[in-house]
Amino acid sequence: MGQILSAIGSTAFYVPFLLVLAWCVHPLMGVRGLVMLMLSGTVNELVKLWTAEPRPYWTDPSIDPGASVSSFGMPSGHAQNAVVVWGILAWTLGRRAAWAGAAALALGIGWSRYALGVHSPGQILVGWAIGLALLAGAVAWERRLGRWWRAQSPAVRLTTAVAPPLMLLAAAFLAARGLSDGAFPRTWTEAVLREGGDELRISSDNAALGAGFLAGCLAGLVPRAGVPPLAPAAGPGRAVLRLLIGAVPLALLAAVYLALVGLDTLYAPVLFVLAAAAGLWTVLGAPAAFDRLEGRAGEGAPPPRLPRPGEHSDLREP
């Protein structure tokens, strides 16, 4: 059970799951989930670099971990992201049962990381606390900030979309620069290698991926501000077609990433750009392709823009 819950709380599960939501089932819920996942993941990587705290099995040979992880332990990313992702989905649904399910998943995923021996109780508690803070901020401010943001000029919207992820990346880069590969005992690396993990090293690469995807998602919302949102897929056939169309550019970007890994030429700025391209396609390119394919935008004409607050509109209420 611990392995299953841990898998449900991993980025490898969240990203495809949220892509299906964003492209086929509930676009608003999926995009909110992706934005909050990337924000939470980037913050988590930043705090990990600040604290540089070992995982329990790195210092206690008696612990037999159920997984080997090559990143620092404080705070638990699984616990933090579980609160953020499942919480934001529950808030979007607005149902008590959804909140209860989100709480159960967050608790179960956090427990699974302790059961697997890859996090201490303190690391899990701090992960939950940071996740709750991010979720509370989103619930309190997302709609108000969204109304303000949509009323701004495209230049202001783009600047405010890209600047925060870049600031997070800069903070992570400085935190990584403040450490060195010799800043921790060799026994930590030996514990990771003994369980089949990779060499432990100081890097802001994961923060670059999260910040880049976040920047791409937010930048993709700029030209869509005031445009009718993507509608859910009309049936299983349309859903499968959307997923195939949406997956092709992401697969190409993944191929570029793997090629650069093989050449050992990956740097944080390169990762940021690749991830930003993926986020931009996810939020802007793919929905535009779906609209064109399904004829929602008309014959070459742009879709009608919804009015900004205070503007007169000739659009009739449905």
pLDDT in tens, 77-115: 999 999 999 999 999 998 999 999 999 999 999 999 998
Contact between 290 and 245 (Cβ < 8 Å): yes
Cβ–Cβ under 8 Å, residues 309 and 151: yes
pLDDT for the residue numbered 11: 93
For residue 266, what pLDDT is reported?
61
Half-sphere exposure for 205 (CA within 13 Å, toward CB): 11
3-state secondary structure (DSSP) of residue 309 = coil
One-letter identity of residue 54: P
Letter string b/e over residues 58-76, b meaning 16 or more CB atoms within 10 A of that residue's CB: beeeeeebbbbbbbbbbbb
State which residues of the chain have pLDDT below 70: 180-183, 226, 262-266, 296-318
Task: Please name the amino acid found at residue 153.
Answer: S
Our measurement of the distance from residue 138's CA atom to the centroid of its chain's CA atoms, rounded to an integer in Å, reads: 14
Q: At 6, which helix (H) or strand (E)?
A: helix 2-8
pLDDT of residue 299: 43
pLDDT in the model for residue 296:
60
Q: What is the pLDDT of residue 312?
A: 43
pTM of the model: 0.88
pLDDT of residue 204: 85
Residue 54 DSSP symbol: P
Nearest alpha carbon to residue 204 among 51, 99, 49: 49
